[in-house]
Amino acid sequence: QVQLVESGGGLVQSGGSLRLSCAASGSTFSINSMGWYRQAPGKQRDMVAAITRGGRTNYADSVKGRFTISRDNAKNMVYLQMNSLKPEDTAVYFCFADVTLSRYWGQGTQVTVSS
């Protein structure tokens, strides 16, 4: 079992920055990839960014060049630095962690970008 707790969401003006953090606990030795999804009201949950244990990253086209994912394996943390935020980035952001045959989710943190 893996538990994930996100933090760092909030309200920011368009063009601003936020940094999300996700702390993993439990069977963290079994975690492979970690990352972030987001879900806006009335929309599906979409992948934002992911990072493997070895540091290979993958981003949604909509956030490339603006968001940066990073990971500290020693601290069992994953981060999402979000710059040049836009109103369309408004969503609940969910951290995920993949282990063999399972995916764990955090409870989500709200990010609101005002125009």
101 band by pLDDT with thresholds 50, 70 and 90: confident
**What one-character-per-residue DSSP string does 52-71 give?**
-TT--EEE-GGGTTTEEEEE
CB proximity list for 84: less than 8 A, separation 6 or greater? 15, 17, 66
| pLDDT for residue 21 | 98
Is residue 48 within 8 Å of 61, Cβ to Cβ? no
How do residues 40-82 score in pLDDT, each as one tens digit?
999 999 999 999 999 999 999 999 999 999 999 999 999 999 9
pLDDT higher than threshold 90 for residue 7: yes
How do strand 57-59 and strand 46-51 relate by DSSP bridges? antiparallel
